[in-house]
Chain A
C-alpha cells in the first residue's frame, strides 16, 4: 500500500516537472514561455482576412487556352473550319470543319483534348461542342486555390511577416483562403499586395491602333467594332501635367508576346528621369521570343499591360532581349510593391474579400492585461474561499487546481494551440469549473463523516461515489465544447481548446492527485480522528 503511494507521488511530481519544463524550458524561463505559447491575433495584433478565389477565372483561362490550341492544331493539320469559339466559360464550339476530315478531327479531339467531352452541335453540320469534364473542372478550380495560396505565401514571405497563416478555409467547394498576418496592421497596403493579380502582358500595338482619346474614337476608326483578334484596353497612364491627363485607349492583339510567366526577376529602379520604375529580366526562353518579336516590330509601340490596363506603351527602337522597364508615375512604395508582386508570380484568378479584421497591437496588449487581471482576481477569490470553507482540504483542492492550470498550459504549448482572448476567458471559467469537482468530492466526504464513518473510509467512499457524477459533468461540458471546436472559428476555437484540455487535466488532478494527497496525509497517522474539511 505504502509503496504504491510512493509511486503515485513520484508520478505526480514527474508530471508536474515535465509540464513546467514543457512550456518554460529547463531551467524554466519566462522568455521560453513567451516563445512556446502562441498568442492569437486578437492578443498580438495583426490582420485576419478571408478571401474567396474566383475560380471561374481559372476555368475561363483553361477554356481560352484550349480554344487557341484547337485553332493551332487544326491549322497545322490544314483542316479548314469556319470558327472555333468559346460558348461560355467551360464550353467550346468548333464550327463547320472540312466534311472530308471529320474522323480526323474527332480523333484529334479525343486524343489531344482528353479533358473535354465531345458532342455534335445539332444545329450546324460537321460541328462539335466540347464541354470541360466535370472532374477536370473541379481539379482546375481546386488547383487554382492551391496556386493562389502559393502565390500569396510568396508575397507575404517577401513582406517579412513571421508566422503567417495562409491556408484553405471552410468547406472546399467555397474556395476560401484564410490569411493571418500577426504583427501587421496596415491592411490597405497588405491587401493591395495580396489582391493584385499581377498579370503582366507585353503586346504589340500596330501602327494606327492607338492611342485613342476615348473608346468611341477607337471604335469609329474601325467601323464600330473591335477588329478580329484584337482587344481594346484602357491606359492608366497619368501625366504630371494635369492638362494632358485623361484616358487613353489602345487596340492590342489578344495574344501576348510575353507574359509574367516569362519573368525571371523584377526589382524597383528609377527611369531616365529619376522617377521610380520597375525593371524586369526575362528567362532564357522568354528572352529569345522577346528578341524575335521586338526585332520584327521595330518602330511599333509595345504596350506593357498590368492586370488588363496599359501601364505604358513605349516605341520599340531596337531589338530587346532579356530585360525591360515598366514606367508610369509610381511612388517609391508602389514601385517596390509592384516589383514584389511580379517576382512572386501572378494569381491564377481574382480574389473577393469576404472578411477583414485588424487588431492593433495596443488593443491586444490591453486585452492581455485585462485577461490576466480577471484570472488573478478569480483565482484569488476561489483560493481564499476554499481555504476558508474547507480549511486544509481546501489547500488540497488548491494544489490540484494549480497543477490543473500547469498541465493546461503545457498541453497548449505541446499541441501548439493558439491562446486567444476567449481562451483566457476559458481559463477563468475553468478555474470555477475545476473546483467544482473538488467541491463535489468534499461535500460527499462530509456527508459520509456525518453518517459516522471513520476518516479513511469517508474519504474513500466520498471519492468513489463522486466519481460517477464527475465523469457525467465532464462529458456534458466536453460535448458542448467539442461542437464549438468543430463549428467555431478563430478566437472561439481557442476557447474550446482551453476548456477541452483544461477539463481533461481536471479529471487527473481533482480525482487522482487530490486522492493521493489525502492518502499521503492520512498515511502519516492511520488512526486519524479528525479531518480538516
Chain B
C-alpha cells in the first residue's frame, strides 16, 4: 500500500501564503496572550491551593462556594473534574489568601472544615465513624476490632482474630481505592468475598458513609512557583540553544539552524496561543510537552533538511527552489506517516489517558499538527527566502 506516491506539490511557490497564514496565527496567539496577561499558569507556577473532592451525589457547588466565602479566604474557584457522573470537583484558592496567613495549608484545612460542616450528615453525632474518611487500613482496624461480635462473625483466616480483622480492614480499603476512593452504599461491600449480611450489619452499626472524600491536594507556595517558572524557562531556552548548536554543527552553517529554530519557536508560541485561547492552564507537564514538541518538530525539520542537503549534492544544476520542493515531496510520505502515527498515540492519550494528563496530551495533539506543518511550510521556505535575500544583496553589491 502506498499513500503518497510521486507527489509533486509546489510548496515553495506557495511560501508567502504559508508564511502569511502562520504570521496571522502567530500574531493572534501573541495578541491573545497579551490580552489575557500572559499564559494562564497552573498551580505549579502560580502557587495556591487545590483540593480534589469526590462526592457521592452531584454536589451543590454554590453551597461550597458560599461557605468558603464566609470564611474570608477570598474567591474560590470550583470546577468539575472528569466526567459528570464521577461527581468530582476541584476547589482552588489563590496563593495570596493562604500564604499571607503564614500557614501554607490554611486553605486546605479551611476547605476540609467547610466540607465537614456542610456535608457530614447528622449520623456523625451519633458516635458513628465515617467509613469514607478513614484514610488507611491500619486506622480502620481499631474501630473494627472495637465492634463487639464482629471478629467472631468473620471467617477465620489465621491463628488469631486480629488477623481476620486486619484482612477485613485492608480488603475494605482496597475495595474503596479501586472504586474511586468513595463507597456509595454499604451494599457494594457485599462484593468483597467473606462479607456476609451479618457482618455488613455489624459494620453499619459502627460506621456511616460520608458524602465526600478528599482525593488529592496540591499546595504550592509562591516561592516554589517562582522557582519552577524560572526552571521551565531555562529548560526551554537551553533546549532551543542546544539544538541550534547541534544543527549549526551538523549542517555547517547557521542558516539551517536558524530556520529550524524559528520554525520551532513559531510552534511553541502558537501552541501557547491555543492554550490561552481555550483558557487551559500551563502546568509542569504541559511544559514537558512543549519541550518534547521542540524536539519533535526539530526532528521533522531535520529529516527534510537532510534530504535537501543530499539532493543539493545530487542535483547541482537545479535551482534551490526545485531542490527543496523535491526534497519535501520525497519525504512527505514519511513526514505524514510518522506524524500521523505519533498523532494517533497522543490522541489516544488525550481520549483515554485520564484527567490528570489531559493538558499534556492536548499540548501534544496541537503541537504535532503545528510542528509537522511548520517543518514543511515554514522551515524550508525560510531557506529559500534567505537565499533570495542574499542573492539580491550580492546583485546589488555587483551593481
> Which of B1, B217, B338, B343 interacts with A435 by CB under 8 Å?
B338
- CB < 8 Å: which of B135, B337, B342 contacts A443? B337
Q: Kindly state whether residue A429 has any CB partner on chain B within 8 Å.
A: yes
> What residue in chain B is nearest A353 (Cβ atoms)?
B104
Given contacts A360-B181, A439-B337, contact A370 B357 (CB under 8 A): yes
Main secondary structure of the interface of B (DSSP, over half): helix
The answer to whether A488 and B235 have CB atoms under 8 Å apart is yes
The chain B residue sitting closest to A361, CB to CB, is B177
* In the assembled complex, A447 has its CB within 8 A of some CB on chain B: yes
Please, which residue of chain A has its CB at the minimum distance from the CB of B1?
A: A389
Question: Is B210 interfacial (CB-CB < 8 Å)?
Answer: no
Say if the beta carbon of B219 comes within 8 Å of chain A. Answer: yes
Q: How far is the CA of A381 from the CA of B348 in the complex (A)?
A: 9
Give the contact stretch, choosing among A7-15, A101-109, A372-380, A404-412: A372-380
Q: Does B197 have its Cβ within 8 Å of any Cβ on chain A?
A: no
List, in ascending order, chain B residues with CB within 8 A of A446's CB.
2
Which single residue of chain B is at the shortest CB-CB distance from A443?
B334
B198 beta carbon closer than 8 Å to chain A: no
Check B334 against A428 for contact (C-beta < 8 Å).
Answer: no
B77 at the A/B interface (Cβ < 8 Å)? no
Residue of A365, A385, A425, A491 touching B349 (CB-CB under 8 A): A425
A186 adjacent to B136 (CB under 8 Å) = yes
Q: Offer 15 A-B interface pairs, CB within 8 angstroms, sorted by A.
A: A352-B104, A355-B219, A356-B105, A362-B182, A370-B352, A374-B353, A382-B345, A425-B353, A429-B292, A433-B342, A436-B299, A439-B337, A472-B303, A487-B232, A488-B288
Whether a CB of chain A sits under 8 angstroms from the CB of B11 is: no
Distance (Å) between the CB of B88 and the closest chain A CB? 9
Known A-B contacts A355-B224, A366-B180; A479 and B246 likewise in contact (beta carbons under 8 Å): yes
Q: Which residues of A contact B234 (CB under 8 A)?
A: 483, 487
Question: In angstroms, how far is the closest chain A Cβ from the Cβ of B104?
Answer: 4
B215, B331, B354: the one contacting A360 at CB < 8 Å is B215
- Of A210-218, A271-279, A492-500, A511-519, the one touching chain B: A492-500
The verdict on B381 contacting chain A, using a C-beta distance below 8 Å, is: no
Q: A358-B216, A363-B356, A469-B303 are in contact. List 8 more A-B contacts (CB 8 A).
A: A356-B105, A373-B353, A476-B302, A477-B292, A478-B295, A480-B292, A482-B242, A487-B231
Known: A439-B334, A469-B302. A428 touches B353 (CB 8 A): yes
By the criterion CB–CB under 8 Å, are A365 and B178 in contact? yes
Q: Is B366 an interface residue (CB 8 A)?
A: no
A432 to B105, CA, bound (A): 41
Q: How far is the CA of A15 from the CA of B176 in the complex (A)?
A: 41
In the bound assembly, the distance between CA atoms of A475 and B248 in angstroms comes to: 13
- Residue-wise interface mask of B (296-337) relative to A, using a CB-CB cutoff of 8 A (1 in contact, 0 not): 101100110010000000000000000000000011011001
State the B residues within 8 Å of A (CB).
1-3, 52, 54, 104-105, 108-109, 135-136, 176-182, 213-221, 223-224, 227-228, 231-232, 234-236, 238-239, 242-243, 246-247, 250, 284-285, 287-288, 291-292, 294-296, 298-299, 302-303, 306, 330-331, 333-334, 337-338, 341-346, 348-349, 351-354, 356-357, 360-361, 364
Q: Which residue of chain A lies nearest to B333 when distances are taken between CB atoms in the complex?
A: A443
- Secondary structure class of chain A's binding surface, majority of residues: helix
Query: Is A440 in contact with B338, judged by CB distance below 8 angstroms?
Result: yes
- Chain A min CB distance to B377 (Å): 19
- Check: A79 CB closer than 8 A to any chain B CB: no
Residue numbers in B under 8 Å from A425 (CB-CB): 285, 349, 353, 357, 360-361
**Which chain A residue lies CB-closest to B285?**
A422
The docked-state distance in angstroms from the alpha carbon of A366 to that of B358 is 14
B108 cross-chain contacts in A, Cβ below 8 A: 187, 356
Chain B hits for A379, CB < 8 A: 345
Indicate which residue in B213, B216, B242, B351 contacts A483 across the interface (CB closer than 8 Å).
Answer: B242
A492 contacts B352, C-beta separation under 8 Å: no
C-alpha gap A235/B294 in the complex (Å):
60
Let me know if B352 and A355 touch, CB within 8 A.
no
Residues of A within 8 A of B333 (CB): 443
Instruction: Kindly list chain B residues whose C-beta atoms are within 8 Å of the C-beta of A495.
Output: 285, 288
CB neighbours (8 Å) of A491 from chain B are 284-285
